[in-house]
Structure formats: structure tokens, C-alpha cells
Amino acid sequence: MRLQSQIIITVHFEETIAKLRQLALEGEQFVPIVREGSFLVEDVKSAIEKAYLASQAKTIIILAADQFSEVVQNRLLKVIEEPPPNKEFILLFPSKAIILPTIRSRLPITVISELSTGSALSLDMQSLDIRAVYDFVQEHARINASGAKHLLEQIGTAAISSQKYQMDEKTLDMMRGAFRVLDRGSPPAFVLTGVLLKLLARKKR
């Protein structure tokens, strides 16, 4: 890890921030903004205000949360592209699945740890049926939005690899729409159910 603007994929926010602090030189300042759940638009405003505070010292602004909505990431885009002098932004995400392409393209990504995806592998997309959908959703009934996005990413990859589904533009739009409704607060288990049932309807006979 280095103290430069970047994305770090980790599920251990406090531990990662502590390690980053150990890399700081004398006089360098740390400004961590850590949220349980979603990073808010108000948090973005606070981060930008702190970034523009006059300071000759190098300042590392660390933003961490379980969920960064599209709105929040888009609000951060400009200050990430053109940060004030001596300011570095380090974003901690629990999963690569929730990062917008515009953010990905502007910051290097370091993966330390990521949300476990082993449970997604228990779903056999080759022989998906109603019973399998029900069991899978029950297994992940308490999953959060970040975890659901990660599962959706794996479900989409597995569906394509299986060649058992009509993965046309309509189906891909449906998958992208699932990410958007998760950002708007839809219950993750409900979204997973909807995606899997729609994929089942698109299964080749």
C-alpha cells in the first residue's frame, strides 16, 4: 500500500486505515470519513470541504463505507479527477462490484480482501429451477446491498458461461437495472429473487 490516491478493496476498514497511518511521514495529515451502511451526499460535501481547506501539509482523505451509490460516486468524480494541491483521496470499498466504471478508470485499485463470494458458487446455473431460486434466496435473506451486488456479478458471469440463457441486450439491461434499484434502497433479497426468476424465464429450452 502507498499513500496516494487510489481505491482499496477491503472488508476491514479500521485495520486498513491503521496500516495506512503507519505509512505516513511526520507532518502528513489523515482525514478518515468512515460510515456504516451508505456514504451520503452530505458526507461527500464534508469531504470536499476538507479537501479545500488551506494546508501546506500533505493530507490523505480516506472515505470508507459499505455502500457508495451512483449519485455519491458521481459527486466525488470531479474532486478525484482534479484534487487540490497536496491532497490524496483513498477510497475503501468492500467489493469491486460496486465501483462505477468512471471511478475505476481514474484510480488504481489494490485488493486486500473482498466480500466472500463462495456462497454464490453453490447456485448451479446449469440446472436452475424454482426450488433452487427459493433455497438460494433463503440462504442470503439477510445479505446487504454490497453483498447482493457481488452475488449478482457472479450470477451474471455464471449465466453467460453456462450458455443456457438468452443473454441478449434485454437481459443485460435487466442485470444493470438490478444494480440501480439496489442503490435506491430496494431489499437485496427481493432484487435477487427478481433477477433469478427473470433469468429462469430466459433459460433456453
pLDDT at 97 exceeding the cut of 80: no
Radius of gyration of the chain (CA): 19
pLDDT band of residue 119 (cuts 50, 70, 90) is very low
Decide: 7 and 110 in contact? Cβ < 8 Å. Answer: yes
The structure's pTM equals 0.62
C-alpha 83/C-alpha 77 separation (Å) is 10
C-alpha 109/C-alpha 8 separation (Å) is 6
Decide: 47 and 63 in contact? Cβ < 8 Å. Answer: yes
Mean pLDDT of 174-182: 89
C-alpha 29/C-alpha 58 separation (Å) is 6
Helix (H) or strand (E) holding 186: none
CATH architecture of the domain formed by 6-111: 3-Layer(aba) Sandwich (3.40)
C-alpha cell at 47: 469531504
Averaging pLDDT over each range in 79-93, 131-145, 165-179, which range is the top one? 79-93
